[in-house]
Structure 1
Amino acid sequence: MIRVVVADDEALLRAGIVRLVEAAPDLQVVGQAADGAAAVRLVRQERPDVLLLDMQMPVMDGLDATLAVRREHPETAVVVLTSYLTDDYVLPALRAGAAGYLLKDSRPDELHQGVRAAVAGDAILSPAVAQHLLKAAGDDVTGRRAKARRDVARLAPKERDVVEALADGLSNAEIAARLFLAESTVKAYLASAMAKLGTTNRTQTAIVAHEAALH
């Protein structure tokens, strides 16, 4: 059973999200929070597998809550579920360590898949978020592209191939098939690449790849 904490400051929406999450037989809501600070406290108390949270909340917003949870409890994956598709939230949340970014108009099955993917170490983005991410990551803002290219240059050829395939949205199994490698070898190359890039999840790694124009 995947244990989930839901954080949203709107009570009716929060109740609806809880019902949607628990409609899946393998997902269980173990706590609810109305602000980011309460969400961090619940994560500390319940040690859930996933924190599902909104971005704009009182006391502590979703971005600060993401940073706090990833710093204090890295075993808990963070999935954003929000109405906000803006530069103020998308890339900052993903760079802060969010494993996924979903919009509230997502289908129930997309929500369930997003929670499961986060636990599996993968990531899922709403289609509109993916398009926004590609555009934002492609902009050479404050030299990020140059830095990303320097970081990628430190990768071994096979590590680079794995990261490029990851940026194409492939799973580990699909990467293994593309590169004619064992899935365990893909995982090893990806872990080594992430250590060199200073990233902590697949989404952050894909962002670096897009910024370096590997994709």
Structure 2
Amino acid sequence: MILSFASSKGGVGKSTTCAAIAAKLAQDGKSVLVLDLDQNQTVARWAKKAALPGLEIMALAPDAFTRVFRDKAAGFDHVLIDLAGTREATLLKAMARSDLVIIPAQASEPDLREALVIIDDIRDVVEAGAAGLQYRLLLTKLFPLPTRVTLFAHREIARHDMASFRTSLVERAQYREMFLTGKAPTIAEPKGKAAREIEALVTEIEAIVGPVSATTGRAA
């Protein structure tokens, strides 16, 4: 399957989510390619410490995306694309090649407003011919207990009819520590709460995307 992680603003946990999911898929015995297009190269720097079998991560300039994707993607079970935290042409190119676009957002008005911008871009890509493309909003960095902003976020998601994951990511130390140690939550604390969140999220993703071709890595 091909997953893109998109946000037009930073600080929403986009690269953290991408890295944690990539690690879980590699743990499950799959070959995983991550194309890191984010200007901060957070996932690429994490990969130098992670060294997981089956996981390859490449930091790319936007103008190299099409060539590298064409040359490399077919050789992996899964391709994850960590997009830059801005709106630019590569965003649309990556979306058009994806099975699912994951849009991380914190439970705040600015983040949800920016998520709507990405959703509009996705609808444009679908109208242009990427009929199988789906998206899901992912709430990140939530407080452990419900707050007024959390309730606001759920109301806004419902009001704008945004497709979203049932799973949310709570603000946890394990997500921050993975960039210090190189160990994703599912490796560092396999029975911890962060690991359970990532496992639940991957289960949801696989249910949304459906069966994956063993030869192409794309949803069948």
Common fold by TM > 0.5: no
Q: Give the structure-1-normalised TM-score.
A: 0.43
Higher relative contact order (CA 8 A, sep 6+): 2
Q: Rg: which structure is higher?
A: 1
Q: Give the structure-2-normalised TM-score.
A: 0.42
Structure showing the higher helix proportion among its residues: 1
